[in-house]
Amino acid sequence: MNPVDGLKGKVCVITGAGKGFGLDLAKLYNSRGTRLALITRSTEDVMALRKLFSDDEDDTLIFEGDVSDPETVEQFSNAIHEKFSAANILINNAGMRFRKPFLEIDLEQFNEVLACNLGSMFLMCRALIPTMKEKGGGKIINMSSVLGTNGLSDLSAYITSKAGIVGLTKSLAIEFAQSNINVNAIAPGFCKTSYYQDFQKNRHDLYQFTLDRTPMNRWGESREVSDVCLFLSSSMSDYITGQVLHVDGGWSAC
């Protein structure tokens, strides 16, 4: 049997599921027969998700809320446990970014990015790991970034948060290894998600820089990240934990 077929019937939690990687992941896991618990803070995206998965209501939980808020995460995790008992897979995908010179960032802005990108992962892991342990294990996949291990100007808050994800991933991997919980991170390079068109049309110099800096000389497709996520969710990755898999066209090799 194809190991990926073993995902059928398992419960996959995806944060930031309304757009970009999160939406593509939701579609992919649904196609594999996985039961889904999705969260996004956009009312519009919640409505779109409910329409998209209207034929799978019994196997899908769609929740509106901000995963950087402890009360929201508690409510979401309670809903997950009530509907599904426990999660088998947690994909921490929610995130935000903005470009701004370091000296123009105030502490409130800095903390907002850290809370969304890193704090949300802390909250989600803390909420779902206990029942993962009770059920005999699980898979946690944290979305970092190629910039989490490489610097770039005007993105100090974002890069700090993504570097923190690497540290959290490695720490949790060690702590929960004997509980049969694999914790890994994916570090995507520049990929064709929601900001791709903006880069092409309005930030051409920056877009060209990313092409020149990437040895494969192209932006990645969203599915190229989703497929790695699928691998890390399956039994094929049972002996892999604490790792950061770069899906970046060679950026991190330079």
User: What is the C-alpha to C-alpha distance for residues 64 and 6, in angstroms, rounded to an integer?
Assistant: 29
Give the mean pLDDT of 199-220.
89
**φ and ψ at residue 111, rounded to 5 degrees:** -65, -30
In the chain, how many domains are there?
Answer: 1
In this structure, which amino acid lies at residue 199?
Answer: F
Contact 219, 196 (CB under 8 A): yes
How many Å separate Cα 216 from the centre of its chain? 24
The dihedral sign for the CA sequence 33, 43, 193, 250: negative
The whole domain housing 89 covers 3-193+221-247
Which residue, among 229, 166, 173, has the nearest Cα to 13 in the 3D structure? 229
What's the whole-model pTM score? 0.96
Confidence band, pLDDT 50/70/90 cuts, at residue 205: confident
Q: How do strand 60-64 and strand 35-40 relate by DSSP bridges?
A: parallel
Confidence band, pLDDT 50/70/90 cuts, at residue 121: very high
Tell me if 206 is assigned to some domain.
Answer: no
Mean pLDDT across the chain: 95
Tell me if 124 is assigned to some domain.
Answer: yes
Provide the CATH number for the domain around residue 177. Answer: 3.40.50.720
Number of Cβ within 10 Å of residue 5's Cβ equals 11
Catalytic residue among 158, 195, 196, 239: 158
Q: Is 158 a residue of the active site?
A: yes
Q: Is 2 exposed, middle or buried (0-12, 13-18, 19+ CB in 10 A)?
A: exposed
The pLDDT value recorded for residue 3 is 64
User: What is the C-alpha to C-alpha distance for residues 126 and 252, in angstroms, rounded to an integer?
Assistant: 30
Tell me if 66 is assigned to some domain.
Answer: yes
